[in-house]
Amino acid sequence: MRCGPSLKKQKKVDAGDGDADRHGDCWIYLAKKADTKLHLAHSTGKRVQATANKLMETVRKRGKKPTEDEKATFISDGNDQYINAILDNFEAETIDYGQLIEEREKGRVVGNLTSLLLGT
């Protein structure tokens, strides 16, 4: 998949177009180590489950395998694709996962909503 200058904007992509998977919006999914800001992995593509899965698969391959005593901690935005990608690549008992969702009014951040989805 090519990311960068696109020939069509997402709203102009026809679903029946044979090249629909190569045109339109492109997202960059990032995984960083929170304490050091070390770039662990990235995945580029459409905002679909496969892009999130690719990111978490790379994180799993590059990182230390978490255990129940040494859990891995993940924090993301409100994109629900991450929980499926995490569960496909890690055992639920070895993960702490939460979401930090920004509340916006007129384009400005006015607050944050946090929720714990896995772990303690």
Which tokens belong to 54? 């690719």
Range of the domain at 64: 10-118
Q: CA 21 to CA 1: how far, in whole Å?
A: 8
Which whole number is the average pLDDT over 78-106?
93
Q: CA 20 to CA 45: how far, in whole Å?
A: 12
Total number of domains constituting the chain: 1
- Burial of residue 39 (number of CB atoms within 10 Å: 0-12, 13-18, 19+): exposed
**Is 5 domain-assigned?**
no
**Is 47 domain-assigned?**
yes
For the chain, the average pLDDT equals 84
Residue 58: count of CB within 10 angstroms of its CB: 17
What are 30-65's pLDDT values in tens digits? Answer: 999 888 999 999 999 888 999 999 999 999 999 889
